[in-house]
Amino acid sequence: MTTLAPCISVLGTASDVGKSIVVTALCRIFNDMGISVAPFKAQNMSNNSFVVDGPGDDVGEIGRAQVAQAEAARIAPHVDMNPVLLKPMTNVGSQVVVRGRAIGQSSAAEYGNRTKALRDISLECLTRLRQQYDLVVMEGAGSCAEVNLRARDFVNFEMAKQSDASVILVADIDRGGVFAQVLGTLDLLSDAERRLVTGVVINRFRGDATLFSDGIDFIEKKGRVKVLGMMPHIRNIGIDDEDAVVLDKGIQQLDDHSTERLTVGVIHLPHISNFTDFKPLERCGAVHLKYLEKGADAEGCDILMLPGTKSVPGDLRWLRRQGFDARILAHVKAGKPVLGICGGYQMLGRRISDPLGIEGTPGEIEGLGLLDVQTELAQTKALSRRCGIWLDANVQVTGYEIHQGRTMRLDGAQAVVRMTDNGELEGARSRDGLVIGTYLHGLLDSAAFLQMYLQKVNSRITVDKASFETDMQGEDAYDRLADIVRNHLDIPQILADAGMRMASPGKERFDVLRAERGL
């Protein structure tokens, strides 16, 4: 019988307390110690996804956070690391993706009836990871103590109980009420759940940590639990975020615009997806990046970009209500470029039809009419990793496609990419070249492409290829994060709580031992 690897489960007192970043850091720290480690999140809710390896030679999509965690662990991301992905389409409904493939849409109420089957699938995926690796670091979702959801919550303590995981509870001191967060969460747990909690991490601490020593004593005595450390408030580490919460908390408005930098405005659609397409712009010294919420925000932008979305017809109607349609038309009339990616590409065309109601009520909606293309949403989702040549500059581009639209170029529309694997022509451009649409996510990750694109607006713009591509590889960011967390958390204790110890002093190799735990 195959021995299953132990698990560490990182759960939260609430959403956005920093669970993802803790898991990412632990994956890099453990890998640096010679431990074969994999990340896992049974169910994720995010429109920020990525195409990864799936069963056999297939591919699928998972949440971007688990991709970052796998990169931190120096392993290839796989659909087993995030078996269930919910991609919100409305305030009450989501597309359900299981082991990388969309299986349909579900309201929140309907989804509750599926959780038993999804739990079983998630456990199968977790078991496979435990058979392949020395250690699995699991991430929970939201608050782990939502009593009204407990019967159908298979992400948090259900996975921890099934794998006998040591549970680390993460709280965010920056939002206030950290004592209530920790002690209130512990008080709401069952005895079986409470016994699994081996420690607490206090995240986003600002200032002199010694001033909180009495707070640590209070939590440890009142909660009968160890405080494993306090992580500082980490900003701009350069690692992809799990979802668009980071955009909702504050639209980036930089004020140091100069003639040597271009202002790029990305329209912040309500159901924005894969906003990591624009992360390279944050790291590019030649760009001043803004996320725009209303049409007037587009004033002064040199380039406008339309991102992907999980609700193209609905977000197109929102775009018009906010006055973006007139602003975009005026922008193009002024000779300034527009780039649309995925759903944004579809919006730039003549019309979008959704006969099956894939993204809402069946019907048809007029696009912005800036590209001679039309799109029909289809039941089957296109998922692929792609490589091609940008036709008007002979620049190699790589990326991935995740979309349910089938877009057809009409008379007058020219393609922008020729794929190297099959010669397929992809995307479209206007006759004057100002308006471009493509399904290729990750297009801006290439320094060569980005410089070529920006220089069409300002020929003096340069992109430092060496530093830009080093940043895009993420290795420095993972190492910086690991260094910070290693210095603030009790890593030996975390491993001991998971039942792992060094095989012999001075060796970076660990034996897996099941340890008796209890408070």
Q: For residue range 130-188, list pLDDT tens digits in order.
A: 999 999 999 999 999 999 988 899 999 999 999 999 999 999 999 999 999 999 999 99
Q: What pLDDT score was predicted for residue 238?
A: 65
**Inter-residue contact 291 to 270 (CB < 8 Å):** no
Count of domains for the chain? 2
Read off the CATH number of the domain in which 115 is found.
3.40.50.300
Residue owning tokens 């690991």: 482
> Which token pair is 166?
């040591």
Cα distances (Å, whole numbers) of residue 466 to 399, 462, 472: 20, 12, 10
226-249 mean pLDDT: 71
- From CA 242, how far away is CA 237, in angstroms rounded? 14
In a shared domain, residues 87 and 56: yes
In a shared domain, residues 136 and 284: no
> Which token pair is 219?
């939590």
In a shared domain, residues 412 and 297: yes
- What is the tens place of the pLDDT at every residue in 336-390? 999 999 999 999 999 999 999 888 889 999 999 999 999 999 988 999 999 999 9
Q: What pLDDT score was predicted for residue 468?
A: 72
Give me the catalytic one of 342, 387, 403, 488.
Answer: 342
- Least confident range from 25-29, 231-235, 300-304: namely 231-235
In a shared domain, residues 290 and 156: no
Residues 6+ positions from 121 with CB-CB distance below 8 Å:
83, 84, 98, 99
Q: What pLDDT score was predicted for residue 263?
A: 96
3-state secondary structure of 499: coil
> Which token pair is 263?
């202002």
Give me the catalytic one of 271, 403, 441, 488.
Answer: 441
**Inter-residue contact 162 to 35 (CB < 8 Å):** no
In a shared domain, residues 193 and 309: no
In a shared domain, residues 413 and 280: yes
In a shared domain, residues 401 and 281: yes
In a shared domain, residues 425 and 281: yes
Residue 342 among the catalytic residues: yes
- Position 401, amino acid: E
- Position 399, amino acid: G
The residue count of the chain comes to: 519
Asked whether residue 396 carries a pLDDT value surpassing 90, the answer given is yes
pTM recorded for the entire structure:
0.85
Q: Which domain holds residue 84?
A: 7-238+474-512
In a shared domain, residues 381 and 491: no
Asked whether residue 475 carries a pLDDT value surpassing 90, the answer given is no
Given pLDDT bands bounded at 50, 70 and 90, which one contains residue 474? low
Residue 2 within a domain: no
Of 104, 108, 101, 58, nearest to 82 by C-alpha is 101
Residue 156 within a domain: yes
- What mean pLDDT value characterizes the chain? 89
In a shared domain, residues 224 and 138: yes
In a shared domain, residues 330 and 263: yes
Residue 1 within a domain: no
State percent of the chain over pLDDT 70: 90
- From CA 507, how far away is CA 33, in angstroms rounded? 9
* Alpha-carbon 327 to chain mean position: 29
Q: What pLDDT score was predicted for residue 330?
A: 97
